[in-house]
Structure 1
Amino acid sequence: MTQKTTAAALLLTAAIAGCTTSPADYATALPSQDPKWLSPECQEIRMAAAGYAGGERPLYWSAGALLGPYGLAIVAAGKDHQAKQRKLFVRDMHLKCSSQPLPKELASVSPPGA
């Protein structure tokens, strides 16, 4: 890979990772009038969403830069993985707490093993 291609891939990954809604924000956006809202599964996942950010390890671009181009790729892969895990969590929350169909951005996310 050339340096320009690597830089473009890193910027794209950073942009995608930054677009993922946090589970706590998504939980507050769900309609509380939905019949699934009061289910035990929904209540459990909403409580987990409130503390979700504390479970993610912070990944810093500056630390990756100290390791050179491979370090930046490692940080980019880590951020991408965290964004995918966050989307899977939000998708699961939507299925447990909402009767509405999945939004397009969550419909494209498939659970592991599917």
Structure 2
Amino acid sequence: MFVALAATVAGCATSPVDYGASLSKQDRKWASPECQQARMEASDYDAREKKQPGWGTGVFLGPYGLGLAAAIKEHQQKQRKLFARAVHLRCSSLPLPKELHSD
């Protein structure tokens, strides 16, 4: 279980807000209403993710704790990737980076 948790944490996806901020503001898509909506949704997701209880609350004690923590972390990483992908598609004219392709 430790290996799964370590592998999940090691592959952390960038925050969709940070990813959006890294895109070129000179791109013709950047000022579009679709891009603004995607950045707002990414920001809302980021805020919700930060409001979730911390990992140190003792919720993950017991025989299934590490597996549960790993599953939650994996789900968060997938959500971050989906939001970053949406931001890229709506805000950038560049091809989709390999790391944002669907699994």
TM-score by shorter chain over 0.5: yes
How many residues get paired? 101
Q: CA deviation at 1:55?
A: 1.3
Root-mean-square deviation over aligned CA pairs: 1.7
Q: CA deviation at 1:53?
A: 1.8
1:7 maps to 2
Pick from 76, 86, 97 the counterpart of residue 91 of structure 2. 97
Q: Unaligned 5+ residue runs, structure 1?
A: 1-5
Higher helix share: 1
Contact residue 13 and residue 76 of structure 1 kept, 8 A: yes
Which of these two proteins has the greater Rg computed from alpha carbons?
1
- CA–CA separation in structure 1 for the residues paired with 2:60 and 2:44: 30
User: How does the TM-score come out when normalised to structure 2?
Assistant: 0.85
Query: What pairs up with 1:1-114 in 2 under 5 angstroms?
Result: 6-16=1-11, 19-56=12-49, 57-60=52-55, 63-66=58-61, 68-107=62-101, 109-110=102-103
User: How does the TM-score come out when normalised to structure 1?
Assistant: 0.78
User: 1:46-97, CA deviations, whole angstroms, 9 ceiling, x for partnerless residues?
Assistant: 122233222122451562542x231110011001001101100100110000
Q: Unaligned 5+ residue runs, structure 2?
A: none
What amino acid maps onto 2:14 in structure 1? T
What amino acid maps onto 1:30 in structure 2? L
Which fold has the larger relative contact order, with Cα–Cα distance below 8 Å and residues 6 or more apart in sequence? Answer: 2
